[in-house]
Chain A
């Protein structure tokens, strides 16, 4: 039986991470739809979603066959790499070392690139590929997080529902406002998700190596608190010394 101490942070992590990725994908799809038309934007999006569904169908059952200790270690290592990469970038953004991610800026840049691309007759391959790539690249991160956290914690169904809820929410709001969701505090969300994914990574690596964390599942909350404290201390330290960003510097 999975405790709420484990399932709560797992579902929150998946929901928030999916929210961030869906917002980023929406920005590109909106740019494609606005500049090149909605038919290729939808075609690329649907093709991307179908590709992601195939990946889940192919790899989901394989994961269930891996012995639990190996899976915990493998998932833990991947989550550590993935989560600490997010957290590293979030710290550097919060500390002013790299520019904050701005959806309005990303939308403008993508729209300008699409408008400059040679118009094509018939099927607009540039538009379809751009939408497809955005959905697949952002969706891959969602699929990885769902499979990693869901499979290692035995929470595949709730994790999938959390991801679907986040993506559905972004699609509904995106369709309603027809603008990039620039007011979502994406950088703060990425910081929080980086902390949570790093905590899950450390927890599962420990479990996979046979170290037992004090407090069992509750340890995830404690590990996340340590990551948050270390990240906050690092932000405080580097923001005191960071040189101002160059004007017009683009966020990664």
Chain B
């Protein structure tokens, strides 16, 4: 069973390197599905909000990682 756990870890590693980052992406998609979808905007705005959230998550995460290393 050890090899199975190791294989599962390798597969999970394809998608998750920084657990906080991966959780942030999943949380943002869930928020988009539950909240952004209900906002009284047209589709282009909903799509733009979804994209803006992804970009914000990415930039915040790499800047934080850089600060962590510098500090």
Known: A144-B14, A241-B70, A243-B69. A87 touches B50 (CB 8 A): no
- A234 x B33 contact (CB < 8 A): no
Main secondary structure of the interface of B (DSSP, over half): helix
| A241-B66 CB under 8 A given contacts A89-B17, A209-B32 | yes
Total number of residue pairs linking A and B with CB closer than 8 Å: 117
| CB closest chain-A residue, reference B69 | A97
Smallest distance from the beta carbon of A58 to chain B beta carbons, Å? 14
Interface residues of B (CB under 8 A from A): 10-11, 14-18, 21-22, 25-26, 29, 32-33, 36-37, 43-44, 46-47, 50-51, 54-55, 57-59, 61-63, 65-67, 69-70
Contact status A230-B55, CB under 8 Å: yes
Bound: A210/B38 CA distance, A: 11
Contact among A76, A88, A202, A238 with B51 in the assembled complex (CB-CB below 8 Å): A202
Say how far B3's CB is from chain A's closest CB, in angstroms.
11
Contact A206 to B62, CB < 8 A, known contacts A82-B14, A84-B54, A88-B18: no
Evaluate contact between B66 and A97: CB separation under 8 angstroms: yes
Is B66 touching A84 in the complex (CB atoms < 8 A)? no
Q: How far is the CA of A222 from the CA of B34 in the complex (A)?
A: 25
